Every structure is written in structure tokens, then in C-alpha cells.
Amino acid sequence: MKNNSNDAKVIFRLFGPWQDEQEEIWLTKMASEGYHFVKCTKPGWYTFIKGESKKVKYCLDYQASASEREKYRQLFDDAGWEYAGEMNNWHYYRKEYEGTEAPEIFTDNESKIQKYKRVLMFFSLLLLSLGVLPLSISLLVRSEGLDFLRGFLMGMGSGITLIMVLTMSATLGRINQLKSRY
């Protein structure tokens, strides 16, 4: 899809990693209204171009491993999916279709569960590096002259830890929801 800056529209809409199906539904709906996904440069910021209304199914996959990306992209390409972009290890795919049956990338719950487990692994590493590390450093800062730094590190570490724990809990909830469908 060619990008004419006059036809570009940027929309902010935030989705959690456990809400990828809602994001897919929204992107698919936007295409049916003639707004076609171009890119998502940072969380929540989507760029669309205006065009004709199309039946396009969007699907997302999470793949942090660089060694697996090319193999995955080739699998999707072989199945007729167009690579639409990437943001923070989330890969966007789309496929035009006719009729009432929309195509799917993941046809079984186990594949979806594996995707969410990859998300959990990433957030676990993020929690350790961005949450626990500042908290640990703040405990080591004992000098009175550094009270502000200690408070800042504790606040930052606590805030990040809370966000990560909530995100991981919601993602685990999504996994449990999928497991209950077996």
C-alpha cells in the first residue's frame, strides 16, 4: 500500500499484550472502513492510510527471538499472509479474503498459549531488569546526601514492578482462559 501523507491518519489506542485479539478485531474493522494499517511506531500510536474498504483479516504474533523471526515470516508468507509491520516484538500480518470465514494464523489454543508464554518470558526479563534492579540499587544507597536518589529509584522500581506484575497476571489469565477451552 502506498503512503500518501495527505491520506495518513494517526490514532492512539492502547492494548495490553493479552488483548491482541481485540487489537486484531479493531485493525480488521478499520480496514473495512477504508483505513489500512501502515505502522505502529510506539505502543498505542497507529498510522493508517485512507483507501477503499476491504475485507482484510489482521493477525498478530509475538516473537522476540531474532533467530526465529525469518522462519516465522516465511511460514506466514507461504500461507499467503502479508507482513504488515512490527512493534516491540509484535508482528502484524494481514490477509485479504472473501466470504464470511476469516482466515486465522493460530488454529489451536496450544499455539496461542505458546505465544503468550513467549510474552511472559519477555516481561519476566523486563521485570528483573527494570523493576527489581532499581529496587535493589535503592537498598544499597545508604548515604544521607543521596536520599532523593534512593527515593526515586524505589519509586521507579515499585511503579515498574507493579505494571509488570499486572501485565503478567493478565497474560496468565489469558493463558488460563485458553487452557479451560480444551
The length of the chain in residues reads 182
Average predicted confidence (pLDDT) for the chain: 88
Mean pLDDT lowest for which of 2-6, 8-12, 53-57, 102-106? 2-6
> Which pLDDT does position 31 carry in this prediction?
97
The β-bridge relationship of strands 45-50 and 82-87 is unpaired
Beta strands in the chain (DSSP E): 8-12, 35-42, 45-50, 56-62, 82-87, 90-96
Ordered by start, the domain boundaries in the chain are 5-96, 109-179
Render pLDDT for 19-50 as a digit per residue (tens, 0 to 9): 999 999 999 999 999 999 999 989 999 999 99
SS3 166: helix
Q: Of all helices (H) and strands (E), which one includes residue 133?
A: helix 133-140
Listed in sequence order, the residues at least 6 apart from 170 whose beta carbon sits closer than 8 Å to its beta carbon are 16, 17, 18
> Which pLDDT does position 6 carry in this prediction?
65
Read off the pTM. 0.80
Average pLDDT over residues 52-74: 88
Strand partners, 61: 91
Q: Position of cell 485493525?
A: 27
> Which pLDDT does position 127 carry in this prediction?
82
Average pLDDT over residues 55-72: 86
Does the pLDDT value for residue 3 go beyond 60? no
Nearest to 176 by CA among 127, 109, 124: 109
Render pLDDT for 144-167 as a digit per residue (tens, 0 to 9): 677 777 788 778 888 888 888 999
